[in-house]
């Protein structure tokens, strides 16, 4: 079988700690090239992962080698630059979360992808954890009845990432767009991805940079400007066309307990979902029952990128695409709605 030839955009942490090691475990995929605006990082990754070509920009990579698809692992503002360049060159696209740094950027990406007719998949690994896959199947089978409410949490006590993450120009925002997207998306997915209509939310930045000892932080590369102008935490509720709602809380730094997971409430049963297990709250034999389900531990990153390779090859159809661009833009509209509501201090309509 012919190998899918992939070019990676961005040679930072997520590319070198997750995407490239995952591709090494996937048959029928060949990483042909890597690019980074800091070419030394592309060179170092090319040497470490035996990648034949490295470049200092996406345009040079697209012109300089033969690839079928790009996998975008850049700062959030680079997702637009690289998606548009790849679409215009006729390449299929896997894009790291969040889709973009703003809804306006996401819409431009959507137009270009549609115009070019290329494939696009948003990479949000929570959709590929075994627990979320199994529970989504159970929701689809009607095991929970009508799922009408979800709670989504991703709270770190002192876990603000370093570098560009706190520079709004490159990230688009703080924990809402960075980690809120993981839990809000997982909850939205289990609600069946209904159309979002309004958001009421707050964001705050009471902690900022800190000197707390004994904590670990995700290391982003420095942005050229070195700004620190994002929120620390966000909370609110998203209302959907079908009457369902998500209540969410996310924080990079907050004075409270750490929490990461989602909870769904349905008319027949509810569930608390963690990474490799979930607990179902229902009734058995007419009595209240709590059943803990442990699923096989799997590498969500490998699952996600295996799925992308199959999608590019045509083994997964457009209709089956687990994270198509239409849904990616809707998710970005939720994130934008959160920031708009926080700025306005009131509930806002989600506009697309
Ligand atoms: N799936 C996850 O769980 C997860 C975890 C962390 C980060 N991420 C996402 O991965 C992306 C990268 O994060 P990171 O932690 O690897 O950051 P990073 O700073 O370690 O790496 C990003 C790299 O992209 C390069 N870059 C920026 N703009 C570029 C452009 N236009 N063209 C080419 N290269 C460009 C930077 O020079 C940098 O080397 C972000 O979108 C982030 O949200 C996802």
Q: Which domains does the chain have, with CATH numbers?
A: 4-125+302-323 (3.40.50.720), 127-297+331-349 (3.30.360.10)
pLDDT tens-digit series, residues 207-239: 999 999 999 999 999 999 999 999 999 999 999
pLDDT digits (tens, 9 = 90+) for 327-345: 999 999 999 999 999 999 9
Instruction: With cut-offs at 50, 70 and 90, classify the pLDDT of residue 1.
Output: confident
**What is the model's pLDDT at position 139?**
97
- pLDDT category at 297 given cuts 50, 70, 90 is confident
How many angstroms is it from 270 CA to the middle of ligand 1? 36
CB atoms within 10 A of CB 90: 11
The string of pLDDT tens digits covering residues 170-220 is: 999 999 999 999 999 999 999 999 999 999 999 999 999 999 999 999 999
pLDDT at residue number 151: 98
pLDDT in tens, 29-74: 999 999 999 999 999 999 999 999 999 999 999 999 999 999 999 9
Mean predicted confidence (pLDDT) in 144-162: 98
Q: Is 236 left (phi over 0), alpha (psi -120 to 50) or beta?
A: left
Centroid of ligand 1 to alpha carbon of 125 (angstroms): 15
Instruction: Please tell me the predicted confidence (pLDDT) of residue 104.
Output: 98
Q: What is the pLDDT of residue 296?
A: 85
pLDDT at 351: 86
Measure 329 CA to ligand 1 centroid, in angstroms.
Answer: 19
Question: Does 275 score more than 80 pLDDT?
Answer: no
Burial 324-352 (b: 16+ CB within 10 A, else e): bbebbbbbbbbbbbbbbbbeeeeebebee
| Ligand 1 centroid to residue 39 C-alpha, Å | 14
Q: Is the pLDDT of residue 325 over 80?
A: yes
- pLDDT given at position 243: 98
* 352 band by pLDDT with thresholds 50, 70 and 90: confident
Kindly list the protein residues whose Cβ atom lies closer than 6 A to any atom of ligand 1: 9-15, 35-38, 41, 58, 73-76, 78, 81-82, 96-97, 125, 163-164, 178, 220-221
Res 117: pLDDT: 98
Contact between residue 256 and residue 149 where contact means Cβ atoms under 8 Å apart: no
Give residue 2's pLDDT.
Answer: 83
Residue 17 token pair = 């700690």
Is 90 exceeded by the pLDDT of residue 91? yes
pTM: 0.98
pLDDT tier for residue 255 given thresholds of 50, 70 and 90: very high
User: Residue 94 in contact with residue 121, Cβ under 8 Å?
Assistant: yes
Atom of ligand 1 nearest to the CA of 164: 19
Mean pLDDT score of the chain: 97
6 three-state secondary structure: strand
Q: Which percentage of the chain shows pLDDT scores above 70? A: 100
């Amino acid at each position: 079988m012919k190998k899918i030839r992939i070019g990676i955009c961005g040679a930072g942490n997520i590319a070198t700690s997750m995407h490239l090691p995952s591709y090494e475990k996937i048959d029928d995929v060949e990483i042909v090239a890597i690019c980074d605006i800091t070419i030394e990082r592309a060179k170092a990754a090319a040497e470490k992962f035996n990648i034949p070509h490295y470049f200092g920009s996406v345009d040079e990579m697209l012109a300089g080698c033969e690839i079928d698809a790009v996998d975008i692992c850049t700062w959030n503002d680079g997702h637009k630059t690289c998606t548009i360049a790849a679409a215009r060159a006729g390449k299929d696209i896997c894009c790291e979360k969040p889709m973009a740094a703003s809804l306006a950027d996401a819409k431009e990406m959507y137009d270009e992808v549609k115009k070019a007719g290329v494939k696009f998949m948003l990479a949000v690994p929570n959709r590929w954890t075994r627990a979320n896959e199994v529970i989504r199947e159970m929701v689809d089978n009607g095991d929970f009845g009508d799922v009408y409410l979800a709670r989504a949490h991703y709270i770190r006590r002192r876990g603000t990432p370093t570098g560009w993450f706190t520079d709004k120009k490159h990230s688009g925002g703080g924990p809402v767009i960075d980690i809120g997207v993981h839990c809000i998306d997982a909850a939205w997915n289990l609600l069946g991805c209904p159309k979002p209509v309004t958001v009421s939310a707050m964001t705050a930045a009471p902690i900022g940079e800190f000197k707390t000892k004994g904590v670990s932080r995700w290391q982003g590369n420095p942005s050229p400007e070195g700004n620190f102008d994002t929120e620390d935490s966000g909370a609110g509720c998203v209302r959907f066309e079908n009457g369902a709602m998500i209540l969410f809380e996310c924080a990079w730094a907050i004075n409270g307990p750490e929490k990461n997971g989602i909870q769904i409430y349905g008319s027949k049963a509810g569930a608390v979902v963690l990474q490799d297990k979930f607990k179902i709250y229902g009734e058995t034999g007419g009595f209240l029952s709590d059943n803990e389900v442990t699923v096989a531990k799997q590498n969500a990153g490998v699952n996600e990128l295996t799925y992308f390779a199959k999608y590019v090859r045509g083994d997964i159809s457009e209709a089956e695409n687990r994270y198509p661009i239409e849904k990616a833009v809707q998710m970005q509209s939720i994130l934008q709605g959160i920031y708009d509501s926080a700025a306005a201090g009131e509930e806002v309509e989600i506009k697309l």
